Amino acid sequence: MKINVTKTWCKKMAGLEAFAEVGAGLLAIDPILNDGEPVSGKPEHFGDETRFALQRFVGLSRRSMNLSVEKLAERADIDLSELITLETDVHHLPEPRTLYQLAQVFNVSQSKLMELSGLTQPKDVHYLEEAVRYAARSESIAKLTAEEQAALDGLISVLSEK
């Protein structure tokens, strides 16, 4: 198929288009940016995505309590290096005891943290999806913003004992 467009037409329309981003189509499942390498394709089961939510939850909770990583490790009586790895490496499978201790400190359900971490299989994936969505709402590492607080509140409500 050929089309006939004049230079005038292209010029006028380009001017109207200006710097607008022109795109159309169904968005695929959002990949998580992991060390600069986007994860492509649809995850068959959760794993990295939910561990990312776990990471976010631990980081946000810690900051909302004004705790450094060292102080949290001390408060939760867990290995400092384990906590650092948990907060920074999305592939890392944490120790069950670590999650139990953190659940006590943050007052949420240990079994739900276990499911988020991928250590156990979830009975219901719906809340995992919710957790992932809340987690995706915050990205920066400074003090908690109002939005981050809201994201954290959402995570807490999803992860609390019912």
CB 46 within 8 A of CB 112: no
Task: Tell me how far apart the alpha carbons of residues 9 and 89 are, in angstroms, rounded to a whole number.
Answer: 52
CA-to-CA dists, residue 18 to 5, 8, 10, 25, 64, angstroms: 18, 15, 12, 21, 43
Return the residues of window 32-51 that contact another protein according to CB under 8 A.
33, 36-38, 40
Does the footprint of another protein cover residue 24 (CB under 8 A)? yes
Q: Is 146 in the site for another protein (CB under 8 A)?
A: no
| Residue from 28, 66, 81, 124 binding another protein (CB under 8 A) | 28
- Tell me phi and psi for residue 43, to 5 degrees: -65, 135
The CB-of-11 to another protein minimum distance in angstroms stands at 5
Give CA–CA dist 62/74, Å, rounded.
12
CB of 29 or CB of 93, closer to another protein: 29
Rule CB under 8 A: is residue 123 a binding residue for another protein? Answer: no
Answer yes or no whether residue 93 interacts with another protein by CB under 8 A: no
End-to-end CA distance of the chain: 61
| CA distance linking residue 104 with residue 16, whole number of Å | 58
State in angstroms the smallest separation of the CB of 71 from another protein. 24
66 binds another protein (CB under 8 A): no
Smallest distance from the beta carbon of 143 to another protein, in angstroms? 13
Query: According to the binding rule CB under 8 A, does residue 16 interact with another protein?
Result: yes
Token pair, residue 111, equals 């079994």
Q: Footprint of another protein on this chain (CB under 8 A)?
A: 1-31, 33, 36-38, 40, 136, 139-140
